[in-house]
Structure 1
């Protein structure tokens, strides 16, 4: 065999070898389409083990994590897969996807808010896309921890840094709600009025009006609370809750009138 023939054969072999991981990945993806999840995971793990330095190997680990999280509800195993992607492929797009999954698992599945905050902060520091969404997750995590003061600080950062974000109405609602939960009705009313004034067509404005009714009810201004609720009829999605709240206020008004 001549030198040129040998070199050509070697490059042909290398090209053939590089196609193998992609072929195996496509086979695993077809198994997912057929809902053969456990078989797919086995193949994906094998693919990652044998071809760890390839793009297909990284994708295999990420896909295995997605299957375990979304279809099999094995959150701890999924978390491990995503953490491995984050560790072994730090400069790739798959790392960003894995890091987001890690943070969301800690927050929404395991309720480990401390680790969730660390993960979201890593995402901010790495300047991932949609930083307004990451900032919102940080603020909302503090809200879920009942650390309302810090939550408001984080929401205010979002309002200041991303004034055009679609998350502004939702952030205003969360700020107003946090004040209400702390019994600070004046502050809550101020923020919720801003929400309803500046974003009247937004769904969170309707939630804002509902909470405003609660603010007035808390103060004892039952007529004002009922007036707000009446205006929500036909617009508020949670009709049963709206009717129940309105009935409760009417009953309070009747008792109040009888007492007089």
Structure 2
């Protein structure tokens, strides 16, 4: 009998050593994802998670968050199953709220809620919670929050959120975007159009090389036209023709403004202005007044 005791002990140790661990299932899941076997990956992630469910050690919490994130990513990135992905991302946020994976999950959740469910408020909630963690991409997330409020037509809140970005992330590459969005929100609120124009002008002054600068100038012209200040609108649009990426659109706006100006001008004054050759245009673009064909017709050539 003595001869079998050591052998039995060796067998028991071997059995214990061969017992699968959560890390083994995690590795199999990673391999399955790499080999494009998403269903198998989901099974392995679930096995790892089930083994970690009752383990509250720091190491287990880390692995639990990774298992949930891995499964959610498979549902979304590999299988495009939005409903299932949303459910697992939410489970991750609930069970491991302080984990790095939960932060990533909130950002992904916000996009899924916005794009697939039109749940803009839910997306805002997720991004706001993510911002409380002071993530490195904070400026971008703050800009997304402001944009979501604009989509909701909550223009005062959009203005507030955009201004937060310019104040909290003053060195960010998103500041010019935030200024443009803030000005757009202001332009939608009655009584704040002058403030909107000043904000557009601020963008152009602070970021003259921004790709948004010509758009800001164009919007300033629109605000003038909306106030029936057609001559000033035309002047601004003629200036933006030099740099605007869509000159045809700007020319069309100039042409419409000129027609409205003609319709609101007394007949005699309109004829006098049309044939007044003493006024010399400052630039060839201004002489065009939008397009060469229109300028030719308007001057009777």
Same fold (TM over 0.5): yes
Matched position secondary structure for 2:241: coil
**Number of equivalent positions:** 249
Which residue among 188, 202, 206 is the counterpart of 2:210?
Answer: 202
Kindly name which structure, 1 or 2, has the bigger radius of gyration based on alpha carbons. Answer: 2
Matched position secondary structure for 1:182: coil
Residues 72 and 86 of structure 2 are in contact (CA less than 8 Å); yes or no, is this contact kept in structure 1?
Answer: no
Which residue among 145, 148, 157 is the counterpart of 2:152?
Answer: 145
Residues 76 and 82 of structure 2 are in contact (CA less than 8 Å); yes or no, is this contact kept in structure 1?
Answer: no
Offset, 1:93: 2.1
Q: TM-score, normalised by structure 2?
A: 0.71
Which residue among 11, 18, 41 is the counterpart of 1:13?
Answer: 18
More helix by share: 1
**Could you tell me which residue of structure 2 aligns to residue 24 of structure 1?**
29
Matched position secondary structure for 1:203: coil
Cα pair distance change 1:57/1:203, threshold 3 Å: same
CA distance in 2 between counterparts of 1:16 and 1:179 reads 58
Offset, 1:46: 1.2
**Could you tell me which residue of structure 2 aligns to residue 123 of structure 1?**
130
Cα pair distance change 1:18/1:161, threshold 3 Å: closer
Matched, 1:112 2:106: no
Matched, 1:193 2:190: no
User: Stretches of 4+ moved more than 6 A in 1?
Assistant: none
Which sections of structure 2, spanning at least 5 residues, go unmatched?
1-5, 53-62, 271-301
Residues 65 and 82 of structure 1 are in contact (CA less than 8 Å); yes or no, is this contact kept in structure 2?
Answer: no
| Aligned residue runs from structure 1 range 87-236, under 5 A | 87-183=94-190, 184-233=192-241, 235-236=243-244
Which residue among 243, 258, 263 is the counterpart of 1:255?
Answer: 263
CA-based RMSD:
2.9
